[in-house]
Amino acid sequence: MSYPAERPRRLRRTAALRGLVAETRLHPADLIQPLFVREGLDEPRPIACMPGQVQHTRESVRKAAAAAVRAGVGGLLLFGIPETKDSDGRGAWDGQGITQLALADVAAEVGDATVVIGDINLDEYTEHGHVGVLDERGDVDNDATLAAYARVAVAQARAGAHMVAPSGMMDGQVGAIRRALDAAGHHNVPIMAYAAKYDSAFYGPFRDAVESRLTGTRSTHQQDPANLRESLREVLLDVDEGADMVMVKPAGLYLDVVRRVADAVHVPVAAYQVSGEYAAIEAAAANGWLTRDRAILESLTAIRRAGAGSVITYWATEIAERLPR
Ligand code: PBG
């Protein structure tokens, strides 16, 4: 017998062999495309720190949604950016607020061909950039913010959102939103909970994208990157409160969390490849330091391999266009 007896390389010899034994595949339906819509724009406006991404007009977001559907993308996650902000973030639940208008436009455009998801938060709408109502000390008031999120959820469902995604990391937010949706007759609108959301530097480009001027910190509500077990607590609480799906965010630096969460719950798991993950790869590729397409596909494959069924990624439409269906 020749040595070595075990030759794992036999199965790597051709693309066909590698394809036959691949354990993880990307499919367009696994990908969710975030879209930004800015009130009062005449032309789409490029987001400098996220090359390739724009703040859409109401018109251009419909076209982007249609293109995502043609590519077979599984979902669209909408973020509205109002013309003016205030201290309470009232535009977030105004029936004529930009997110509601865009949800209605996009839902009319795509019908049931993809899942239209509204992000529930106040940070795009508040002048201080915080995710909720502030108390006298300038910290986010948990329970006052729950009441606001409940209003936002109902406004988004009424506008036509197929799903809502609370991202503020307030205790009890999933339960408060579930109750409000049910009371308003929207018992069929699922909740995708940003369940394990870390206080990450990698949200930096997003804050530019939504023109948020945050002063202060999110560390009193978003999780400490040092913690893993805490995510299991957060996720189990959200499932208990009625979350239909749970999400881990960011994705690439938190693959251990994705894996543990996927093993711990029986609801679908999503992971959010955030703005800083996108910007880092785009910037390195623009300098010729990474091969862009390989880096993108590797990053997405790793997130799926770790256990995420769905990946929220700014590359969703672009990559979906190139994947076999
Ligand atoms: C809150 C929200 C944020 C992101 C998604 N929803 C910002 C935050 O929590 O500070 C970040 C997404 C990204 O960085 O791509 N509205």
What pLDDT is attached to residue 1? 75
Give percent of the chain with pLDDT exceeding 70: 100
What pLDDT is attached to residue 24? 98
> Domain for residue 6, yes or no?
no
Residue given tokens 């018992």 in the structure block? 187
> Domain for residue 14, yes or no?
no
> Domain for residue 263, yes or no?
yes
> Domain for residue 73, yes or no?
yes
Catalytically active residues are: 197, 249
What pLDDT is attached to residue 251? 98
For 12-24, write each residue's pLDDT tens digit: 999 999 999 999 9
Segment 184-190 long-range contacts (CB within 8 Å, at least 24 positions apart)? 184/154, 184/157, 184/158, 186/153, 186/154, 186/157, 186/158, 189/153, 189/157, 189/161, 189/162, 189/163, 189/164, 190/162, 190/163, 190/164, 190/244, 190/245
> Domain for residue 46, yes or no?
yes
Domain count, the chain: 1
> Domain for residue 3, yes or no?
no
> Domain for residue 151, yes or no?
yes
What pLDDT is attached to residue 56? 98
ipTM over 0.85: yes
| Nearest atom (ligand 1) to Cα of 124 | 16
Distance, in Å, from the CA atom of 268 to the CA atom of 282, rounded to the nearest integer, reads 29
For residue 77, what are the CA distances in angstroms to 73, 120, 225, 291?
11, 10, 24, 27
> Domain for residue 226, yes or no?
yes
What pLDDT is attached to residue 215? 81
Residue 118 maps to which CATH number? 3.20.20.70
Q: Whose CA is nearest to atom 14 of ligand 1?
A: 203
CA of 206 to the centre of ligand 1 (A): 6
CA of 168 to the centre of ligand 1 (A): 9
Instruction: Quote the pTM value.
Output: 0.97
Who lines ligand 1 at CB under 6 A? 119, 121, 123, 167, 203, 206, 274-275
What pLDDT is attached to residue 325? 83
What pLDDT is attached to residue 216? 85
Distance, in Å, from the CA atom of 140 to the CA atom of 267, rounded to the nearest integer, reads 29
Among 40, 64, 42, 66, CA closest to 52: 64
Residue given tokens 């993308």 in the structure block? 73
User: Cα 229 to chain center, whole Å?
Assistant: 22
What pLDDT is attached to residue 285? 98
For 137, the domain range is 25-322
| Beta strand pairing call for 192-197 and 245-249 | parallel
| Nearest atom (ligand 1) to Cα of 123 | 16
CA of 119 to the centre of ligand 1 (A): 9
pLDDT beneath 70: ranges in the chain? none
What pLDDT is attached to residue 324? 87
